[in-house]
């Protein structure tokens, strides 16, 4: 055999040997995840985190993002000081290009400030305080609706059901109550302002601490105000406490319109029992009319529900759907179009996102207000619904395009008639 033939044969053998050796696995793509996993907000924080885990597992089954498996650097932030410290750790020590979270507005405000300063993308999936996207930050993105949208929707809905309450809207008596965090104050202010703008009567506008263990004085003041509808922004514990004391003190509220996941969790139903029947909740739909969604979204919904049930042995609430949508959009749309985890590329891809209504499991789409516009980074296609507890289930009843059930018990019966 000639030297040329020997060299050729050696080259072929070497190539074959090389092909037989498995290639080194791609480096993981590490994403920072920040939620309140302990403390008073842990129940809902963990619900959102479980949805994020399902999103990670689903994307990794599809080959990851940019050919890399996704891993999480997890931060527990039960309070704003912890959110500040943990966001700094994630960016400076863990070197994450993105922090996603966070559920609570106070945590989002603290963590997003760090991301802006340290040069990372802050990807908010749940928190709603208006200030989050009012500071002219370039690195802060919010996929869900803001507080003003929630409060305004509650007032719009109250006006819409005035006829069912036997009232002309101008005669409808509205009481607005809310816990006094950034979340509660933002939503409560928006609800009160929209109530007046729509020509309805604002007969009470009260704030209280969510850590309070007695709301009897508030209930008694509402009893004197005689509202036709109460718009209440609450977390879980204070929502359950308020409704329990409403019953104990025999306050008749013809229409109870809760705002936030405090009224939407199964734990609220467990705490209030059959008395929850007929209560409304303004939030992303916990049980959207899936048949109205595009076929691809319907399939994604089924896969997510199956994954969440396997983890938690129950269905997710609205925050689970919202959190999943935020992470899924990041993994399947934004980072792939960015082509890397460079901040400038990520930011450019995020602001170019254009997902039509029905793309997310809640029925929402994604289109951000641009840098330089009012509330830059806010998703203008976020979707809010009104749900109602009916026979132990939370059903979407408004708007009609998203509804999967007709509303009932408007007005609510007096306690003596239940």
CB 368 within 8 Å of CB 326: no
Omega before residue 352 within 30° of 0, cis = no
Q: What class has domain 148-283+385-417?
A: alpha beta
Per-residue confidence (pLDDT) for residue 24, from 0 to 100: 44
Per-residue confidence (pLDDT) for residue 44, from 0 to 100: 87
Q: What class has domain 29-145+292-367?
A: alpha beta
Per-residue confidence (pLDDT) for residue 116, from 0 to 100: 98
CA distance 317 to 7: 66
Per-residue confidence (pLDDT) for residue 288, from 0 to 100: 80
CB 243 within 8 Å of CB 276: yes
148-283+385-417 and 29-145+292-367 share a CATH fold: yes
Give 79-83's long-range contacts (Cβ < 8 A, gap of 24+). Answer: 79/36, 79/39, 79/106, 79/107, 80/106, 80/107, 80/109, 80/110, 81/110, 83/34, 83/107, 83/108, 83/110, 83/111
Q: Which residues contact 136 (CB under 8 A, 6 or more apart)?
A: 376
Per-residue confidence (pLDDT) for residue 64, from 0 to 100: 98
pLDDT by position in tens, the chain (length 418)? 443 343 344 343 333 333 333 334 689 999 999 999 999 889 889 999 999 999 999 999 999 999 999 999 999 999 999 999 999 999 999 999 999 999 999 999 999 999 999 999 999 999 999 999 999 999 999 999 999 999 999 999 999 999 999 999 999 999 999 999 888 998 999 999 999 999 999 999 999 998 899 999 999 999 999 999 999 999 899 999 999 999 999 999 999 999 987 898 888 999 999 999 999 999 988 778 888 899 999 999 999 999 999 999 988 888 899 999 999 999 999 999 999 999 999 999 999 999 999 999 999 999 999 999 989 999 999 989 999 999 999 999 998 878 889 999 999 999 999 8
Helical pair 42-61 and 318-329, crossing angle rounded to 10 deg: 40
CB 337 within 8 Å of CB 352: yes
Helix (H, G, I), strand (E, B), or coil: what is residue 168? coil
- pTM as predicted: 0.80
Residue spans of the domains in the chain: they are: 29-145+292-367, 148-283+385-417
Helix (H, G, I), strand (E, B), or coil: what is residue 393? strand
- Name the pairing type of β-strands 385-390 and 280-283: antiparallel
């Amino acid at each position: 055999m000639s030297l040329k033939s020997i060299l050729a044969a050696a080259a072929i053998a070497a190539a074959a040997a090389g092909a037989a050796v498995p290639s080194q696995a791609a480096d993981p793509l590490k994403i920072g995840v920040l939620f309140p996993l302990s403390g008073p907000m842990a129940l809902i924080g963990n619900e959102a985190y479980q949805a994020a885990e399902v999103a990670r597992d689903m994307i990794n089954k599809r080959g990851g993002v940019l050919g890399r498996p996704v891993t999480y650097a997890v931060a527990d932030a039960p309070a704003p000081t912890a959110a500040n410290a943990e966001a700094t750790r994630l960016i400076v020590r863990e070197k994450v290009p993105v922090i996603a979270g966070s559920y609570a507005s106070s945590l989002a405000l603290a963590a997003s400030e760090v991301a802006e300063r340290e040069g990372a993308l802050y990807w908010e999936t749940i928190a709603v305080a208006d200030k989050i996207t009012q500071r002219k930050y370039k690195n802060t993105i919010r996929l869900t609706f803001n507080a003003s949208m929630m409060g305004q929707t509650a007032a719009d809905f109250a006006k819409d059901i005035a006829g069912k309450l036997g009232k002309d809207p101008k005669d409808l008596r509205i009481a607005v109550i809310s816990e006094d965090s950034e979340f509660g104050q933002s939503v409560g202010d928006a609800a009160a302002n929209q109530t007046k703008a729509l020509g309805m009567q604002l007969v009470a506008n009260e704030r209280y601490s969510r850590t309070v263990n007695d709301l009897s004085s508030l209930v008694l003041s509402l009893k004197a105000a005689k509202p036709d509808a109460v718009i209440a922004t609450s977390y879980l514990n204070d929502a359950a406490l308020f409704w329990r004391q409403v019953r104990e003190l025999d306050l008749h509220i013809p229409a109870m319109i809760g705002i936030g996941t405090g009224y939407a969790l199964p734990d609220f139903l467990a705490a209030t029992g059959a008395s929850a029947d007929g209560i409304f909740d303004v939030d992303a739909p916990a049980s959207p009319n899936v048949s109205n969604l595009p076929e691809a979204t319907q399939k994604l919904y089924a896969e997510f529900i199956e994954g969440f049930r396997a983890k938690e042995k129950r269905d997710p609430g609205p925050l689970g759907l919202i959190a999943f949508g935020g992470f899924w959009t990041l993994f399947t749309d934004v980072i792939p179009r960015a082509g890397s985890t460079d901040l400038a590329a990520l930011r450019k891809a995020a602001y170019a996102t254009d997902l039509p209504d029905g793309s997310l499991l809640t029925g929402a789409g994604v289109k951000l207000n641009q840098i330089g516009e009012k509330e830059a980074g806010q998703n203008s296609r976020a979707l809010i619904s009104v749900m109602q507890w009916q026979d132990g289930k939370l059903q979407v009843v408004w708007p009609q395009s998203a509804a999967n059930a007709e509303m009932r018990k408007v007005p609510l019966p007096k306690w003596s008639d239940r």
